[in-house]
Amino acid sequence: MIRNPTPGNISLLTSLALALLVSGVVYAVNPEFNDVIISFAVVLVSSFILFFLAIEVFIYRKIKLIYKTIHRLKTQRHLTDALRETSLKHNPIDDVNEEVVNWAKSQATEIEQLRKLEAFRKEFLGNVSHELKTPIFNIQGYIHTLLDGAIDDPEVNIHFLKKAAKSLDRLSDLVEDLISISQLETGQMKMEMEKFDIHALTLDIFEAMEMRAKEKGVDLVFKEGCDKPFWVYADKYRIRQVLVNLIVNSIKYGKANEGKTLVSFYDMDENLLIEVADNGEGIDAIHLPRLFERFYRVDRHRSRDEGGSGLGLAIVKHIIEAHNQTINVRSKIGVGTTFGFTLRKGSNEKAVAVL
């Protein structure tokens, strides 16, 4: 029977991969046996502690909480309380029967909740394990290739070290996204509210993404009439995170060589509607309701090839909801996809909103 990996297993695999990578680099620069062994031991121990704490605190804590919830629901019994509250004014048998029926219905609801929690636990743990395994196994493959002789070829070893570094970056991004979504869901992340021009913020992001968009052949533009200041009251850093995620996605999945990312602003009385649209291949309607779920991918193979942790849109949704606002998506095959979210219009207020 296949068992789910423990925090120690995952941390050990990651640490071994990282320690072997660093040792390979040290060996390539200075092939002294003692230096290689020392560097291997130091990196192995320090990275193991770091990865173990990160996984234990931000992933398995949530899994344990789900287990506790399931156990509490299984052992909870309401029949005694229900009978104590039964009215005996008319027919006590009918009253007791009604209470028992109500209790049975509530138990059926709890059982359904248990099933959903168990399914969520399995899916969440499976997704996290899979997302962690992918970059770890990639790093492992690159290191074994180097150890099998490729390290002696300067061009080849640099090529594989760059690939290993890219996989480590992906692993780091995944851990950072797991930390962010954990903080958002547990209420540990504060929204630092301020008044700012979202048009200027979007323009900054356009400039930062210019090279990436040119490589894909995608134009970054504002809708006619929207190339002017629009003031909102929100957490500027977090809204930048939202816009970066949506604009990066529109570049990734826009039409190659003749793509367009269109950003629009609409006055909605007290709120401002912001839309980010692409002219890509679009998303089938069957996927739209689950698009903001953690690790949900419309095309799993293509999404992993494009990079990303699978948590971006889930984080986006949590950030917008932390502002007491909404986000939606509409898409049409062959036409493209549009994400829209609202923000409160700018004011001179200063405050801190806590999730």
String of DSSP letters for 136-167: HHHHHHHHHHHHTTGGGSHHHHHHHHHHHHHH
Euclidean distance between CA atoms 200 and 75, whole angstroms: 55
Q: Which domain CATH number covers 324? A: 3.30.565.10
Specify whether 38 is located in the same domain as 173: yes
Last residue of a domain, one of 186, 212, 241: 186
pLDDT tens track for 250-294: 999 888 888 899 999 999 989 999 999 999 889 988 999 888 887
Q: Are residues 336 and 200 in the same domain?
A: yes
How wide is the angle at C-alpha 65 spanned by C-alphas 61 and 71, nearest 5°?
A: 145
Do 297 and 210 share a domain, yes or no? yes
Q: What is the C-alpha separation between 64 and 58, in angstroms, rounded? A: 11
Range of the domain at 221: 190-354
Specify if 335 maps to a domain.
yes
Does 2 reside within a domain? no
- The reported pLDDT for the residue numbered 233 is 95
Q: How far is it, in rounded angstroms, from Cα 355 to Cα 190?
A: 6
Band (pLDDT 50/70/90 cuts) for residue 23 is confident
Averaged over 185-202, what is the pLDDT?
87
Q: Which residue has the higher pLDDT, 112 or 225?
A: 225
Q: How many domains does the chain have?
A: 2
- In the predicted model, what is the mean pLDDT of residues 227-255? 92
> Is 68 found in the same domain as 42?
yes
Q: How much is the pLDDT for 96?
A: 45
150 and 276 in a single domain? The answer is: no
Residues 124 and 201 in one domain: no
**The predicted structure's pLDDT at residue 61:** 63
Q: If DSSP codes are grouped into helix, strand and coil, which group holds residue 221? A: strand
Average pLDDT for residues 54-83, to the nearest whole number?
57
Residue 1 lies in a domain: no
- Does this model's pTM top 0.85? My answer is no
Name the pLDDT band for 82 (thresholds 50, 70, 90): very low
Is there a single domain that holds both residue 140 and residue 25?
Answer: yes
210 and 242 in a single domain? The answer is: yes
Angstrom CA distances, 103 to 73, 107, 265, stand at 14, 6, 51
Domain presence at residue 239:
yes
User: Would 317 be classed as within a structural domain?
Assistant: yes
Distance of alpha carbon 239 from alpha carbon 232, whole angstroms: 10
Under 8 Å between Cβ of 345 and 272? yes
Q: Are residues 94 and 198 in the same domain?
A: no
pLDDT tens digits, 180-192: 777 777 777 788 8
Distant-in-sequence, close-in-space partners of 305: CB < 8 Å, separation ≥ 6: none
At 117, the pLDDT band (50, 70, 90 cuts) reads: low
Q: Which residue has the higher pLDDT, 172 or 324?
A: 324
Q: What is the pLDDT of residue 88?
A: 43
What span, in angstroms and rounded, lies between the C-alpha atoms of 131 and 339?
25
Q: What one-letter code names the amino acid at 113?
A: Q
Last residue of a domain, one of 186, 208, 225: 186
Neighbouring residues of 335: CB distance < 8 A, sequence distance ≥ 6 = 279, 282
Does 227 share its domain with 348?
yes
